[in-house]
A and B are shown apart, each in its own frame.
Chain A
Amino acid sequence: MTDELMDYDDALALYDPVLGLEVHVELNTNSKMFCGCSTEFGAEPNTQTCPVCLGLPGSLPVVNGKAVESAMRIGLALGCEIAEWCRFARKNYFYPDMTKDFQTSQYDEPIAFDGSVTIEVDGVPYEIPIERAHMEEDAGKLLHVGGATGRIQGAEYSLIDYNRAGVPLIEIVTKPVRGTGYNAPEVAKAYVSFLRDMLRSLGVSDVRMEQGSLRCDANVSLMPKGTHELGTRTETKNVNSLRSISEALRYEIRRQAAILASGGRIIQETRHWHEDGGYTSPGRNKEQAEDYRYFPEPDLVPIAPSREWVEQLRGTLPEMPSVRTKRLQEVWGFTDREFGDILAGSALDLVEATVEAGASPAGARKWWVTELARRANEAGLELSELAITPAQVAALQKLVDAGTINDKLARQVIDGVLAGEGEPDEVVRSRGLAVVSDSGALEAAVDRAIAADPDAAQKIRDGKVQAAGALIGAVMKEMRGQADAAAVRALVLHRLS
C-alpha cells in the first residue's frame, strides 16, 4: 500500500463526497432464476445443475415466478414504481463462470425504478434516492488454485462450481447520493444495514454478507466544495461487511482527496478492498469499458405484472424496519441507549418474540443483550443461531420473576438449555437448581452465619445495614447459590432487629 492519503477532516473541508451504491441480493427462492435446480448453499460442487443452468446447447430459460414476486416486493419496499411491462436482456461477455457467455439480466427496462428510502445517522435523516432494482442471474464460482493470492493472476489452474450459476439476484442501484458530507461513510453503512433489515423482514433473502448473499459495490467521487459537477468516481468491490463499507469509503475519500489536491486526476476504475490491510488497490480499468452489447433476451417473453397483482403485493409488505423500531422503542419504554444495545446486537426480532412469549421488555432485553450475546460471541454464532428460543428465554424470566431461581441459577439453566437438556423448568428439576424455600433450612443457615461472624452481626444490630452483605454472602455460599438473596437478607435483618 503506497497510496498518498489526506487526513479525513482536511479532505472533508475541501471536498463533498458523492456516493453511489450497488447492492446485489441473492434471493432465497428454493429454485434458480430460470430452472428448477436447488439454490441451497454449501452443496458439493456442480451437483445442483441441469442443462439449463449449465447453458447446454438447445436449453432454454423459464422465469421463476417467485423471484419476480420477490423483486416486486423489494421494489415496493424501496418506494419504487413497478414496471407495467419489462424485459430481460442479455449482457454479453466471455468468462468461464458464465455458462452461456452472457448473463441474463435487465438493462433499460428494470422491473422497479425511481424509489427512495430515508435512513438515519446520529439522529440526522438522509434520503437515499433509488435508481432501480432489477433481476438477474448469478454466475458460477471460480476457485483459482496454485496462485499466491487465490486470484486468477499466477494461478496454476482454476476450478468452477456452477451450483451458484443461475441463482436469482436482485441488483439495487442508488442514484448519486449527495449532501452526506462528513457522514458519507456512515450513511453508506447505515443504508446497507437498512437494506439488510428490510430484506430480512420481507423474508426474500438470507442477507448473509459473509456468504455473499448480500454484496455491495461502493462508488464514490469528490466535488470541490461549492461546485456542482460530479467528479470521476471509483467503484470499490470486495466489501464484505458493514464495517468494510464505511472503512473502504473513508479510505477512498482520503486517497482521492490527496490526488485531487496535488493537481492529479482520478482514474475511473474498479478498486479492490483489502480487509486485512485496510486499503484499496486498483482492479479492472473501466476507461476501456467492456461493451456488453445488451439486447432484449429473445428466449423470454416480456413481464407485464397486472396492477392488481402489484397492489396485492403492496398489501403483503411487512411494517418497514424504521417504523417498527420507532414503535417498539415507544411501547417498551427504553431509552435510546437501552434500545441502541438491542439494535446493535441484532436482537430486535428475538426480544420482540420473547416479549410476545410473556416476558417483560426489560427481562427480555437483559438476557439477549448481555448473557446470550456473550455466549453467541464466544461460540462464533449469530445470536439467532443459539440453541435457545425466545419462548425458552421468556420461560426462564418467568422462573426468575416467580422466585424459583435467581439470576445466577438462571445462567446454569441457560447452560442446560443450550446443552439440549430440555425446557428451562426441566433443567431446573433435573439439575436441582431451584432456590431453597424450606424456611427451616434457611433459618438454620442464617443462624450459623450469625454465629460465625459476630462482628458483622453486632454492626447490623447497631444499625449498619450494609454489613448484612457479608452474612448474606456466607448463607448463599452454604446454600450453593440456591437461595433467594432477597429472602436471605430479610431473614438476617429480622433475626438481628
Chain B
Amino acid sequence: MSLTTRSAAELAGLLARREVSAVEVTAAHLDRISAVDGDVHAFLYVDGDRALSLAKEVDARRAAGEKLGPLAGVPVGVKDVFTYAGAPTTCGSRILEGWIPPYTSTTVQRLLDGGLIPLGKTNMDEFAMGSSTENSGYGATHNPWDLGRIPGGSGGGSAAALVAYEAPLTVGSDTGGSIRQPASVTGTVGIKPTYGGTSRYGLVAMASSLDTPGPCGRSVLDTALLHETIAGHDPRDSTSIDAPVPDVVGAARSGDVRGMRIGVVRELGGEGYAPGVEQRFDEAVALLQDAGAEVVEVSCPHFEYALAAYYLIMPSEVSSNLARFDAMRYGLRVGDDGTRSAEEVMSLTRGRGFGEEVKRRIIIGTYALSSGYYDAYYGSAQKVRTLITRDFDTAFQVADVLVSPSTPTTAFRLGERVDDPLSMYKADLCTIPSNLAGNCAGSFPVGLAPEDGLPVGFQVMAPPLADDRLYRVGAALERLLPSQLSGLGALPGSLAAKEALR
C-alpha cells in the first residue's frame, strides 16, 4: 500500500514505530503532487525543499529519543490564506502576488510545533470568496472525482489535495462554509470549530467576526488529531476563547451515539435540494437512530434570512479588511510612473489586482456601511444574526446536535454558476447559520448521490465548545456506513479518486 493512500493516523503509527521515515513520507507526497497536480491544481506553491529539511529534522529528533507530537512527521497542506514566514501567501489574489510574509500564523506555527510537515499552500477562491475556487486569481482547482467539476470553495484546494492523495491532512478556513462545502462535494471530512476555538492570528481576514480556521482530513480520526493540534487559546487573537480544547480525539475514537438527541432542522431541506442529497441524508439519519440516537425534528425559523444577513455582514467587514491592499507597502503596485498621485496608484492597483467577486463584495459592504444606510442594512443584519443565535439556543434545548445536508447539491460543473452569483451563494445555505452564531459544525461523507455518483455531505452542528459531539456523530457514521449504504466502495479511501484522474 502506497504511503500516500494511508490515513494520517496510520502514517503516525508507522513513523512512531520507525517503520518509515518522515523524509520518505514527505517525498512520497511531493512525488504525488508532481504527478497529479497538473490536472488537479490543488497547490499554488509547493515548499518542497523546506518540507524535506523539516522532515529530516523530525527524523533526527525521533532518532534522538525526543518525545514528539502524535502527528510528528505527517505532511499537511495549508490553505494559502495563512501566513507562513518565507512562503509566498497570495490568498488566491493577484494583488498579493509575490508577497512573502515575514511572520508565521498561529495555525502554521502549531503545525510546526507538532512536527507536521507543511508541503505548501493550497488553492482557494480569491480572499476566500466563493464556493468553487473559480474565483482564484491563479486558475480553478478540479474535483478529483470528476475533473470537469468544482471541488467546492473557497477551500477547494485543501479538499481536492486530500482526495487526490497529495496530502493526508490540510488546514482551511471557514467563513460561510469554505471548509464544509468543499468537504461535502469531495467526500472528505471538514470541521469548522467553534468561533474562537482556533486562532485567527495570521489568517488573512475576509470577515473577522466569521472567519474560523479548521482541520480537513479523509477520516474522522485524522481530522480530530489535526483539530487537537491547531486548536486552543492564543493571546494574540483577542476573540480566542480561553478554555480547554474539547476531547475531539476521544470522541472520534468512540463514535457512541446511544442516547444522543439528534435534531433534524426542518428548514434545511426540501425545495432546491437534490434528490440524491436528501436520500443519503435521510438514510444517514436512520442509521444513527438504529445505532441508538434519538431523532427529533426542530425548527429554526430565522435560518431563511441567514443568507441575506450574511451577505450584508460579511461584505461590510470585507470592505474594511481589504482596504489595506493599497499598493503602498507590499504586493502589486500599478501605475507608479512618477506622475500619478498615491490615490491614483491605489485606485489603479485595486482595479487591476482584485477580481470581480471581491470587487462586488467590497462595493456591497461599502454601501451597507454608508451613513444613512447603516441601520437598514448592517444594523438589521446584526439583529437577524441575534435571532439566528436564539434559534440555535432553542433548538439545542431539545437536541444535542443539529443535522442537515452540508450543501443542497453535489459538485456542479466548472463554469456552471460563475455568471450567476446568487446561485453560487446558495451553495452555502446550510453552512452559513453556524458562522453567524459562532457555534461549531462539520461535514462528513455519507455516500454518493444515486443520480450522478458524486459525494454527499452530512452536516452536524453543535453548541459552542461542544466540538467533540461533531466527531462522535461523524465517527458513528463512518463506522456504520460502508456496510449499510450502496456505492460506498467509491468513497475516498478507495482508489476511485485516482481512477477519476486517469
Contact = CB atoms under 8 A, between A and B. Distances in A.
A291 interface: yes
A191 interface: no
Interface residues of A, number: 29
A108 to B, nearest CB: 11
Nearest to A297: B208
Given A51-B102, A57-B83, A293-B370, A299 B323 contact: no
B328 A96 contact: yes
Contacts of B89: 57-58
Contacts of A294: 369
A101 B347 CA distance: 13
A264 interface: no
B202 A293 contact: no
B201 A60 contact: yes
Contacts of A160: 328
Given A57-B96, A298-B209, A102 B323 contact: yes
Given A56-B103, A60-B238, A301-B239, A295 B369 contact: yes
A56, A100, A291 pick with most chain B CB within 10 angstroms: A56
Interface residues of B, number: 44
Contacts of B91: 57
Contacts of A101: 323-324, 326
A99 B329 contact: yes
Residue in A58, A158, A294, A298 with the greatest tally of chain B CB atoms within 10 Å: A58
Interface in B349-405: 366, 369-371, 374, 378
A295 B326 CA distance: 21
B203 interface: yes
Contact of A300 (B82, B99, B238): B238
Given A58-B202, A101-B326, A293 B319 contact: yes
B136 interface: no
A158 B342 contact: yes
A295 B320 contact: yes
Interface in B227-260: 235-239
A63 B236 CA distance: 10
A57 B204 contact: yes
A63 B238 contact: yes
A58 B328 CA distance: 17
A293 B369 contact: yes
Contact of B316 (A51, A96, A158, A295): A295
A92 B320 contact: yes
A100 B319 CA distance: 12
A60 B237 contact: yes
Contact of A58 (B82, B235, B320, B323): B82
A54 interface: yes
A58 B324 contact: no
Nearest to B370: A291
Contacts of A99: 324, 329
Nearest to B99: A57
Contact of A100 (B203, B317, B323): B323
Interface in A129-170: 158, 160
Contacts of A58: 82-83, 89, 101, 105, 201-205
B201 A293 contact: no
A293 B363 CA distance: 13
Interface string A43-63: 000000001001111111111
Contacts of A102: 320, 323
Most buried by A among B207, B209, B329: B329
A58 B96 CA distance: 13
B398 to A, nearest CB: 30
Nearest to B379: A295
A295 B374 contact: yes
Contacts of B102: 51, 56
Contacts of B202: 58-59
B101 A301 contact: no
Interface in B201-230: 201-205, 207-209
A293 B366 contact: yes
A301 B238 contact: yes
A61 B240 CA distance: 12
Given A58-B82, A58-B105, A92 B369 contact: yes
Contacts of A158: 342
Contacts of B371: 291, 293
B436 to A, nearest CB: 13
B200 interface: yes
Contact of A61 (B83, B238, B316): B238
Contacts of A85: none
A55 B321 CA distance: 10
B384 to A, nearest CB: 16
A56 B89 CA distance: 12
A94 interface: yes
B378 A295 contact: yes
A62 B378 contact: no
A90 interface: yes
B72 interface: no
Nearest to B105: A58
B238 A94 contact: no
B236 A60 contact: yes
Nearest to B330: A56
Contacts of A298: 207-209, 239, 317
Nearest to B342: A96
B357 to A, nearest CB: 18
A293 B328 CA distance: 22
Interface in A58-75: 58-63
Contacts of B343: 94
A110 B354 CA distance: 35
B460 interface: no
Question: Of B235, B317, B319, B369, which is in contact with the most chain A CB atoms at under 10 Å from its CB?
Answer: B369
Nearest to B96: A57
Contacts of B204: 57-58
Contacts of A54: 329
Nearest to B211: A298
Nearest to A301: B238
Nearest to A290: B371
B346 interface: yes
Contacts of B209: 298
B171 to A, nearest CB: 14
Interface string B396-428: 000000000000000000000000000000000
Given A96-B326, A291-B371, A295-B374, 6 more contacts: A51-B103, A57-B96, A57-B204, A102-B323, A293-B374, A298-B317
Task: Give the top 3 A-B pairs by smallest Cβ distance, nearest first.
Answer: A101-B323, A293-B369, A298-B208
28 contacts: A56-B83, A57-B83, A57-B99, A58-B82, A58-B89, A58-B101, A58-B202, A59-B201, A60-B200, A60-B201, A62-B238, A92-B320, A94-B346, A96-B328, A96-B342, A100-B324, A101-B323, A102-B323, A158-B342, A160-B328, A293-B370, A293-B374, A295-B374, A298-B208, A299-B205, A299-B208, A299-B238, A300-B238
Interface of B: 82-83, 89, 91, 96, 99, 101-103, 105, 200-205, 207-209, 235-239, 316-317, 319-320, 323-326, 328-330, 342-343, 346, 366, 369-371, 374, 378
Interface of A: 51, 54-63, 90, 92, 94, 96, 99-102, 158, 160, 291, 293-295, 298-301
